[in-house]
């Protein structure tokens, strides 16, 4: 099947609109002049009507009722729209039928997924179908793993422009500034993935594979931080980051989709900034111990948990190096990473897909590989994220180990 030449009724349906992150996305879409014909989608018509009133959209905003586990209703929804933004997780519990339906109908799809075992299953089952139909299936458009992917993209673009070669070794250090913890959806997804990995030895091995999302392909051995480390450049202690394996898998898929533009020797590691001095070391040790077990989802954090004013809620420092050459890229943004920050990222990604890449080929994509510099530009223009890149002095390009 090929993508239909006729124009659908909608450009975008926000699916799972009445959930917590769905409501945040609905408010953001209603407040933004996206130029899109969009609709609210979910299984409860009354809840959709209440949400429409809440965001002040009026009766002109259409409501689409469907069920995540009813194939006929999902197909009817997909046939009415060019794209679906899914906010319904855990995706391994509620998302498979929708992805398959989008792939079959040639409907574009984006989500906030950070579930690598499920994404691999979707790639294995539906990538060939999506390529035939023209559907662009774009996973991980939120804090998993958009800031990391776009940061590496920016870093490597600068290196290619400066030296004509990428920097194969990239390290990412992530700092949060009182921006709340995991979202309930993220925690639920982590727990579901951990349960799947524990229940099946093969799934557990696949989850720990940095090339989990590049079936049939591999590459060099990857760093796997398991202990606290002192970062001499930033002068802080760092700890293993629970989302590191998820983001690493996405980045290797992005590199592969771009025909190894970051080199076939590309390696990546990611750690969480714990803080300076002795207190930072103790914090890093505590985080490392805590990574062995995942806590149950907590309450939704209040918006007040994020820093007030223009202060960023998170910072990423990405250092790339090779043979004495080095670049540092920074990515920063406001909002609670698992909530309003992530929903803004996902909305801007799907709008960028619809408006800027209508002719891109179908398949299973990462947002950076598909949307690239256009998405960096859009996120910057709308103050969702800020980006910077600087060349490192040669003396600063050393590798720092455990201490």
- Low-confidence winner among 152-161, 204-213, 236-245, 343-352 (lowest mean pLDDT): 204-213
Q: Phi first, then psi: what are they for 115, rounded to 5°?
A: -120, 90
Mark whether 89 and 201 lie in a shared domain.
no
Domain assignment present for residue 339? The answer is: no
Domain assignment present for residue 6? The answer is: no
What confidence score (pLDDT) does residue 224 get? 86
Longest dimension (CA), the chain: 63
Distance of CA 173 to the CA centre of its chain: 16
Give the pLDDT band of residue 263 (cuts 50, 70, 90): very high
Quick: pLDDT tens for 310-321.
678 999 999 999
pLDDT at 28 over 60: yes
Give the pLDDT band of residue 8 (cuts 50, 70, 90): very high
Burial of 65 (0-12, 13-18, 19+ CB in 10 A): middle
Task: Count Cα neighbours of 246 within 13 Å in the Cβ-side half-sphere.
Answer: 25
Query: Phi/psi class of residue 260: alpha, beta or left (left: φ > 0; alpha: ψ in -120 to 50)?
Result: left
Query: Which H, E and C letters describe the chain, residue by residue?
Result: CCCCCCCCCECEEEECCCCHHHHHHHHHHHHCCCCCCEEEEECCHHHHHHHHHHCCCCCCCEEEECCCCCHHHHHHHHCCECEEEECCCCHHHHCHHHHHHHHHHCCEEEECCCCHHHHHHHHHHHHHHHHHHCCEEECCCECCEHHHHHHHHHHHHHHHHHHCCCCCEEEEEEEECCCCCCCHHHHHHHHHHHHHHHHCHHHHHHHCCCCCCCCCCCCCCCCCCCCCEEECCCCEEEEECCCHHHHHHHHHHHHHHCCCCCCCCCEEEEEEEEECHHHHHHHHHHHHHHCCCCCCCCCCCCHHHCCCCCCCCEEEEEEEEECCEEEEEEEEECCCCCCHHHHHHHHHHHHHHHHHCCCCCCEEECHHHHHHHHHHHHHHHCCCEEEEEEECCHHHCCCCCEC
Mark whether 150 and 28 lie in a shared domain.
no
d(CA 21, CA 164) in angstroms, rounded, equals: 41
Q: Please, which residues have CB within 8 angstroms of residue 202's CB and are 6 or more apart in sequence?
A: none
> Residue 132 sits in a domain of what CATH number?
3.40.50.720
Average pLDDT of the chain, as a whole number: 88
Mark whether 22 and 161 lie in a shared domain.
no
Domain assignment present for residue 233? The answer is: yes
Quick: pLDDT tens for 329-358.
999 999 988 889 999 999 999 999 999 877
Number of domains in the chain: 2
Mark whether 304 and 216 lie in a shared domain.
yes
Quick: pLDDT tens for 278-320.
999 999 998 888 775 543 344 444 444 444 456 789 999 999 9
Give the residue numbers spanning the domain of 174: 146-334+384-396
Mark whether 176 and 213 lie in a shared domain.
yes
Domain assignment present for residue 375? The answer is: no
Mark whether 138 and 150 lie in a shared domain.
no
Give the pLDDT band of residue 198 (cuts 50, 70, 90): low
Domain assignment present for residue 390? The answer is: yes
Mark whether 303 and 203 lie in a shared domain.
yes
Domain assignment present for residue 2? The answer is: no
Q: What is the pTM of this model?
A: 0.89
pLDDT at 6 over 80: no
Mark whether 134 and 198 lie in a shared domain.
no
Domain assignment present for residue 340? The answer is: no
Mark whether 224 and 251 lie in a shared domain.
yes
Mark whether 218 and 153 lie in a shared domain.
yes
Give the pLDDT band of residue 191 (cuts 50, 70, 90): low
Mark whether 176 and 250 lie in a shared domain.
yes
Mark whether 209 and 127 lie in a shared domain.
no
Domain assignment present for residue 379? The answer is: no
């Amino acid at each position: 099947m090929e993508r239909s030449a006729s124009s659908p009724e909608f450009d975008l349906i926000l699916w799972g609109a009445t959930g917590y992150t769905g409501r945040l996305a609905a408010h953001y879409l209603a407040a933004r002049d996206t130029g899109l014909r969009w609709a609210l989608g979910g299984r409860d018509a009354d809840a959709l009507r209440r949400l429409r009133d809440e965001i002040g959209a009026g009766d002109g905003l259409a409501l689409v009722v469907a069920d995540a586990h009813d194939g006929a209703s999902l197909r009817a929804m997909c046939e009415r729209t060019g794209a679906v933004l899914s906010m319904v997780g855990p995706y391994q519990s509620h998302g498979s039928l929708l992805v398959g339906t989008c792939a079959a109908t040639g409907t574009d799809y984006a989500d906030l997924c950070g579930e690598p075992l499920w994404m691999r299953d979707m790639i294995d089952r539906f990538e060939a179908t999506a390529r035939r139909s023209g559907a662009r299936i774009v996973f991980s458009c939120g804090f998993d793993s958009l800031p990391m992917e776009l940061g590496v993209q920016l870093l490597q673009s600068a290196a290619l422009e400066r030296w004509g070669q990428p920097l194969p070794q990239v390290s990412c250090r992530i700092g949060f500034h009182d921006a709340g913890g995991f979202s309930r959806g993220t925690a639920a997804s982590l727990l579901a993935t951990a349960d799947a990995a524990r229940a099946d030895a093969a799934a557990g091995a696949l989850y720990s594979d940095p090339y989990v999302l590049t079936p049939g392909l591999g590459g060099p051995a990857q760093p796997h931080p398991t202990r606290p480390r002192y970062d001499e450049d930033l002068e802080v202690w760092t700890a293993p980051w629970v989302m590191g394996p998820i983001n690493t898998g996405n980045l290797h898929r992005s590199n592969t989709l771009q025909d190894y533009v970051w080199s076939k020797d590309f390696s990546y590691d990611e750690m969480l900034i714990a803080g300076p001095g002795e207190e930072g070391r103790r914090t890093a040790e505590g985080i490392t111990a805590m990574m062995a077990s995942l806590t149950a989802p907590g309450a939704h954090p209040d918006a007040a948990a994020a820093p007030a004013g223009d202060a960023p809620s998170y910072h990423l420092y990405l250092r790339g190096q090779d043979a004495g050459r080095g670049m540092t890229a920074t990515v920063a943004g406001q909002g609670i990473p698992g909530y309003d920050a992530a929903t803004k990222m996902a909305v801007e990604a799907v709008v960028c897909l619809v408006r800027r890449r209508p002719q891109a080929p179908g398949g299973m994509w990462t947002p950076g590989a598909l949307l690239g510099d256009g998405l960096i530009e859009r996120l910057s223009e709308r103050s969702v994220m800020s980006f910077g890149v600087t060349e490192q002095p040669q003396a600063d390009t050393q590798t720092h180990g455990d201490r």
